[in-house]
Amino acid sequence: MNELPGRVLVTGAAGAIGRSLRGTLLRKVAHVRLSDIRAVGETAGHEEYVPAELTDLDQVRAAVHGMDAVIHLGGVADEADFASIKGPNLEGVYNVFEACRLEGVSRVVNTSSNRITGFYPAGRTLDGQEAVRPDGLYGAAKAFGEALASLYADRFGLDVVSVRVGSFEERPSESRHLHTWLSPSDAARLYEACLKAPAGLGHVTIYGVSRNTRSWWSQNAAASALGYAPRDDAEKFADRLPPYTEVHQGGQYTHYEYGGWAARPDTGRTP
């Protein structure tokens, strides 16, 4: 098995996954560069903080400079209007890949989302090879990021793992999580496997999910090749949660008004 890269940049380091990985996986990395437009708190001896606005290529390039790998977590983390999404989640992901190309950084862990396939029926098992069916602008932006990952792998030789993160929570708190939960411990195992993956893998897509009995997402060949072996199961929380009754995997995220930008139009017509 390959060793961890010696120098790793984490964008969006002030977010939930970034904070969690700092206490687990990233303690094993010799030098960690934390980047965000928000404060990341006190840094440890092996950490440094380099703020960067994702919409500014020069700032992103400065953050990427000298790194061996990038964990890209940055961006708007939920559904929002297009004006909010387009900078951090569209231009931002382009700037990360372009900065990696310019700075010669060939390993990227691209944090995508399960929301990229939210309109698939609940109960259907997906392995990441299906066509995207995003449940909103956030998911559509993640699809753009995966398309860029494929382009930069094929044209420029980057090795990219796009991780379609499920419901990253300390423990499941709603019925959907029985199917989608990613525990902090499994997140650490997953991102470690992505960083250790052998060179030459190109672009692969996997679901970031724990070993849930009711999971909608299987571990595909790419996940097996990475050596990701989740251990936690949301089923131990099942007696505390009601059954899932939504039609689609995205649940509330597929609802017409979710995110506030798509209010139903007033056509002036009577029913």
- Positions annotated as catalytic residues are 138
Residue 201's closest CA among 227, 218, 225, 228? 225
Q: What tokens were used for 178?
A: 């029985």
Strands (E), the chain: 7-11, 31-35, 47-49, 69-72, 107-113, 159-165, 167-168, 181-182, 203-208
Residue 99 and residue 24: Cα distance in Å, rounded?
27
Residue 49 and residue 36: Cα distance in Å, rounded?
8
Residue 262 and residue 107: Cα distance in Å, rounded?
37
Q: What tokens were used for 22?
A: 């700092």
Q: Is residue 12 classed as helix, strand or coil in its secondary structure?
A: coil
113, 75 Cβ separation under 8 angstroms: no
Neighbours of 160 (CB within 10 A): 28
Residue 261 and residue 252: Cα distance in Å, rounded?
15
80, 261 Cβ separation under 8 angstroms: yes
Q: List 161's β-bridge partners, or say none.
A: 109, 204
Residue 182 and residue 85: Cα distance in Å, rounded?
24
